[in-house]
């Protein structure tokens, strides 16, 4: 038997128990009313002795069936069917005793048929309805044949039988709606129970302690981590309990009415070996105010802070190493060319090596300045003159792979050293990700509505859609050997110079755009 059928049968049993109590009360009241009013209303009863005997036997049956249904929870559908059969037969005999249908008894008939439709299946409820129709209609024919009643109430009986059929049909529609709502409610309760189990499992697995207090400082929710940190038995996380009985040190420390959301404090307890940090969060739920205490081991938090500091130091070192790699590559390239060069070329290479050495020093200083939030030093740059010279000085090894297109009189105000680092990062990334069949990338500088746009384009596969949101985050890289700092530093340098670095989607390849204000001549 499924859980849903057990739930449905349990509901059927409880409703049947209530109906059994109702019929016992009704039968007792009818008998009491008859005994008290018989002398004044004796003329209203055609067969008073039959009425008295039927009510007495009916009361006896209802009491026995009520006790049986309450004591023996077996064959519930069969017991309910017997209840309704007794009701219909008894009510039909009472109707016969007063010489035809009566408004009050007819109402009891209607209640019986409606209850049968709710508590029995459709076929059994139909049987009860047909028995009721037969009892109120054909008893008159039988009585006229046996000459103990007449057909004067035949019209009332026919109307009553029709009413029974209408009630049965209406009840069946209502039952279907009730069953639909019951199934929906059962499904929702199962889903709620499942979510509660999942939440409980999650709370039991995490290392952070959670303690929820109500307005009376009673714990309404806790997880094993909270019990462990506070030195309480794990059994407490299953039940609600007053905080002062299990953790009096925390209870005495709390000024419950003064707690504010976001407040932090630390405390130690004689019950616990931990130094605990507590974060307070106010929870507003319907009809009550709850307080959430988030508990963590303060010593472990301090260790995590130290680890984050070491990680930040390592990240800073990695960023410096990443930026130094480009000028070192230029120095190595110039040093390789030096022995085979003539005097003029050697002079030029010496100048390049000296310039790159100075640039290494500037990189270190600029990186530290960025960390310390120091101001930049913008200078006027004429991109038509600056970009060719920049390619020759900083990217001589890949200069032949870069196609330059610069609009005339393109002027910007930008920190030159930082602008060089931005372009080096973007151009070397573009060369690395370019289509092998293409021998060049494009660097385009143009003026668009008083803004200067510098585009670095390649013809590769572009940036995947799922990676675009993380492009400028530190240490994000799609390459195993990448540090993930190049685009992050380029983005930071642009923001420091009131410029914007963005990724522009195009049909083929990737395009990174630097957009800044045009310098006024």
Q: Where are the domains of the chain?
A: 3-187, 207-299, 375-517
Whether the pLDDT of residue 1 is over 50: the answer is no
By percentage, how much of the chain surpasses pLDDT 70? 81
Q: What is the mean pLDDT of residues 92-112?
A: 72
Neighbours of 416 (CB within 10 A): 16
Query: Cα angle vertex 52, ends 49, 56, to 5°?
Result: 140
Q: Helix (H, G, I), strand (E, B), or coil: what is residue 511?
A: strand
Q: Helix (H, G, I), strand (E, B), or coil: what is residue 327?
A: helix
What CATH number does the domain located at 375-517 have? 3.30.565.10
Q: 388-402, pLDDT tens digit by residue?
A: 999 998 888 888 999
Whether the pLDDT of residue 253 is over 80: the answer is no
The DSSP call for residue 506 is -
Classify the phi-psi angles of 100: left when phi > 0, otherwise alpha if psi is within -120 to 50, otherwise beta: left
Whether the pLDDT of residue 237 is over 60: the answer is no
Most confidently predicted of 250-254, 255-259, 289-293, 443-447: 443-447
SS (H, E, C) 230-286: HCCCHHHHHCCEEHHHHCHHHHHHCCHHHCCCCCEEEEECCCCCCEEEEEEEEEEEC
Q: What is the mean pLDDT of residues 464-489?
A: 69
Q: What is the pLDDT of residue 381?
A: 92
Residue 291 sits at φ, ψ, to 5 deg, of: -125, 125
Q: What is the mean pLDDT of residues 280-291?
A: 81
Nearest to 163 by CA among 123, 200, 197, 113: 113
Q: What is the pLDDT of residue 368?
A: 62
The CATH superfamily of 207-299 is PAS domain (3.30.450.20)
Q: How far is CA 131 from CA 69, 125, 439, 463, in A?
A: 23, 10, 97, 79
Q: What is the mean pLDDT of residues 421-440?
A: 89
Whether the pLDDT of residue 296 is over 70: the answer is yes
Residue 378 sits at φ, ψ, to 5 deg, of: -70, 145
Cα separation, 396 vs 330, in Å, equals 8
Q: What is the pLDDT of residue 326?
A: 74
Structure confidence at residue 386 as a pLDDT band (50, 70, 90): very high
Q: 492-501, pLDDT tens digit by residue?
A: 889 888 899 9
Beta bridge partners of 192: none
Structure confidence at residue 426 as a pLDDT band (50, 70, 90): very high
Q: What is the mean pLDDT of residues 475-490?
A: 64
Residue bearing the bigger pLDDT, 312 or 133: 133
Q: What is the pLDDT of residue 284?
A: 78
Residue bearing the bigger pLDDT, 200 or 441: 441
Structure confidence at residue 383 as a pLDDT band (50, 70, 90): very high
Residue bearing the bigger pLDDT, 396 or 360: 396
Structure confidence at residue 2 as a pLDDT band (50, 70, 90): low
Cα separation, 313 vs 318, in Å, equals 9
Whether the pLDDT of residue 481 is over 50: the answer is no
Nearest to 53 by CA among 24, 90, 88: 90
By percentage, how much of the chain surpasses pLDDT 90? 11
Q: 315-338, pLDDT tens digit by residue?
A: 667 767 766 777 888 888 888 888
| 19-23, 61-65, 305-309: least confidently modelled range | 305-309
Q: What is the pLDDT of residue 324?
A: 78
What is the sign, positive or negative, of the torsion defined by CA atoms of 117, 120, 124, 127? negative
Whether the pLDDT of residue 385 is over 60: the answer is yes
What is the sign, positive or negative, of the torsion defined by CA atoms of 379, 382, 383, 388? negative
Query: Whole-number mean pLDDT of the chain?
Result: 79
| 35-49, 95-109, 418-432, 475-489: least confidently modelled range | 475-489
Beta bridge partners of 515: 453, 500
Q: What is the pLDDT of residue 8?
A: 59
What is the sign, positive or negative, of the torsion defined by CA atoms of 235, 236, 238, 239? positive
Q: What is the pLDDT of residue 151?
A: 47
Neighbours of 223 (CB within 10 A): 23
Q: What is the pLDDT of residue 387?
A: 93
Cα separation, 521 vs 504, in Å, equals 29
Cα separation, 504 vs 423, in Å, equals 16
Residue 269 sits at φ, ψ, to 5 deg, of: -130, 150
Which helix (H) or strand (E) element contains residue 453? strand 451-457
Whether the pLDDT of residue 480 is over 50: the answer is no
Q: What is the pLDDT of residue 458?
A: 93
Q: What is the mean pLDDT of residues 12-37?
A: 82
Cα separation, 396 vs 398, in Å, equals 6
The two beta strands, 402-406 and 411-414, are unpaired
Segments in 276-342 forming alpha helices (H):
298-337
As given in the structure block, the two tokens for residue 235 are 């059994």
Assess contact for 47 and 93: CB atoms under 8 A: no
Q: 153-197, pLDDT tens digit by residue?
A: 556 666 777 777 777 777 778 777 777 777 787 788 888 888 878
Q: What is the pLDDT of residue 404?
A: 92
Q: Tell me the CB-side half-sphere exposure of residue 349, using CA atoms within 13 A.
A: 18
């Amino acid at each position: 038997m499924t859980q849903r059928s057990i739930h449905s049968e349990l509901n059927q049993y409880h409703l049947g128990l209530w109906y059994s109590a109702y019929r016992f009360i009704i039968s007792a009241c009818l008998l009491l009313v008859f005994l008290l009013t018989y002398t004044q209303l004796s003329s209203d009863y055609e067969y008073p002795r039959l009425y008295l005997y039927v009510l007495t036997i009916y009361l006896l049956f209802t009491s026995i069936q009520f006790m049986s249904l309450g004591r023996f929870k077996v064959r519930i559908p069969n017991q309910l069917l017997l209840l309704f059969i007794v009701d219909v037969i008894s009510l039909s005999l009472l109707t016969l005793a007063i010489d035809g249908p009566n408004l009050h008894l007819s109402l009891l008939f209607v209640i019986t048929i409606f209850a049968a439709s709710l508590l029995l299946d459709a076929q059994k409820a139909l049987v009860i309805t047909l028995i009721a129709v037969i009892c109120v209609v054909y008893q008159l024919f039988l009585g006229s044949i046996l000459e103990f009643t007449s057909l004067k109430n035949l019209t009332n009986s026919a109307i009553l039988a029709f009413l029974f059929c209408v009630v049965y049909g209406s009840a069946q529609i209502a039952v279907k709606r009730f069953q639909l709502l019951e199934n929906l409610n059962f499904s929702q309760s199962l889903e709620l129970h499942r979510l509660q189990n999942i939440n409980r499992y999650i709370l039991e697995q995490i290392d952070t302690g959670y303690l929820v207090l109500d307005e009376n400082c009673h714990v309404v929710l806790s997880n094993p981590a909270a019990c462990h940190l506070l030195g309480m038995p794990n059994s407490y996380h299953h039940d609600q309990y007053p905080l002062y009985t299990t953790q009096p040190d925390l209870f005495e420390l709390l000024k419950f009415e003064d707690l504010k959301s976001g407040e932090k404090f630390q405390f130690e307890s004689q019950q616990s070996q931990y130094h605990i940090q507590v974060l307070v969060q106010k929870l507003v739920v319907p009809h009550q105010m709850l307080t959430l205490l988030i508990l963590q081991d303060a010593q472990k938090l301090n260790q995590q802070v130290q680890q984050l500091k070491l990680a930040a130091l390592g990240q800073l070192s990695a960023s410096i190493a990443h930026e130094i790699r480009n000028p070192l590559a230029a120095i190595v390239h110039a040093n390789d060319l030096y022995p085979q060069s003539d005097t003029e070329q050697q002079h030029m290479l010496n100048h390049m090596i000296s310039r790159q050495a100075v640039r290494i020093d500037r990189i270190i200083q600029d990186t530290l300045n960025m960390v310390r939030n120091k101001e930049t030093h913008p200078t006027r740059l004429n991109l038509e003159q600056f970009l060719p010279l920049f390619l020759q000085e900083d990217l001589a090894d890949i200069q032949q792979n870069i196609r330059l297109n610069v609009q005339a009189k393109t002027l910007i105000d930008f920190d030159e050293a930082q602008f060089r680092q931005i372009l080096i990062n973007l151009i070397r990334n573009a060369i690395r990700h370019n289509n092998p069949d293409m021998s060049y990338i494009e660097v385009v500088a143009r003026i668009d509505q008083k803004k200067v746009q510098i585009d670095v384009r390649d013809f590769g596969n572009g940036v995947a859609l799922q990676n675009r949101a993380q492009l400028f985050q530190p240490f994000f890289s799609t390459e195993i050997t990448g540090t993930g700092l190049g685009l992050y530093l380029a983005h930071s340098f642009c923001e420091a110079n009131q410029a914007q670095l963005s990724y522009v989607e195009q049909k083929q390849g990737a395009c990174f755009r630097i957009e800044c204000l045009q310098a006024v001549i």
